Amino acid sequence: MGKLIVVACGAGINTSTIAEDSIRERMAKEGFADVEVKRILMADIEGYLTRSDLILIVSMMKIFRTFEVPVIQGMPFLIGSQEEKNVLLDKVVDVVKSK
């Protein structure tokens, strides 16, 4: 079964694109062929929560609720240095490997 990572932001226009791009690149580098990275509107998240292949939510904004799957705060993708980004990408890789 495939693995789904959703990158959620407020508008689904700009900020999530940046994170999506970085994560996709890393997934390709790691050779994870079964990982799908999808950017979504935070408002649309309900429809994804019920999907059994959802393994991770990367959120580009502060969220005021909890989820069953792990959540990673994606802000360093926007404003972090390369090292901070790598730390975050390592976390994503760990989640993918553990599932």
Partner 1 sequence: MEVLQSAVGWFLGLGSTVIVPIVLIILGLIFRVGFAKAVRGGVTTGVGLAGLFLVVNLIISALQPAVQALATNMGIEKSFVDVNWADAGIAWGWPGVAGLIVSLLVINILMVVLKLTKTLWTDVWSYWHGSALAGFVWALTGGNVVMGIAAGVLYLVLGSLMSDMTAKKYQEFNDMPGIGVPCGTTVQASLFAMPVVWLLDRIPGLKDWDASPDGIKKRFGLVGEPAILGLILGFIIGIAAGYSVQQWLGLGMQVATMMVVLPRMVSIIAEGIVPITMAIVQYMRERFKDREIYVAVDCAVLLGHPAVMASSVILFPLCVLLAAVLPGVQMLPIASLAVIPFWAGAVVPYTKGNVIKTVIVLLLYAIPFMYFSTLTVDAHTEAFNMMGQYGDQISQGLKLASWDMGGDILGFFIQKLFGLFS
Residue number, 11 or 94, with CB nearest to partner 1: 11
Rounded CA gap, 99 and 65, in Å? 23
Per the CB < 8 A criterion, the answer to whether 10 and 61 are in contact is yes
Q: Does 1 bind partner 1 (CB under 8 A)?
A: no
Position of tokens 């940046």?
18
Residue 36 in contact with partner 1, rule: CB under 8 A: no
Residue 66 or 98: which CB sits closer to partner 1?
A: 66
Q: Is 75 helix (H, G, I), strand (E, B) or coil?
A: helix
User: Residue 81 carries which side chain, given as an amino acid letter?
Assistant: S
9 binds partner 1 (CB under 8 A): yes
Residues that bind partner 1 (CB under 8 A): 9-15, 17-18, 21, 42-43, 60-64, 75, 78-82
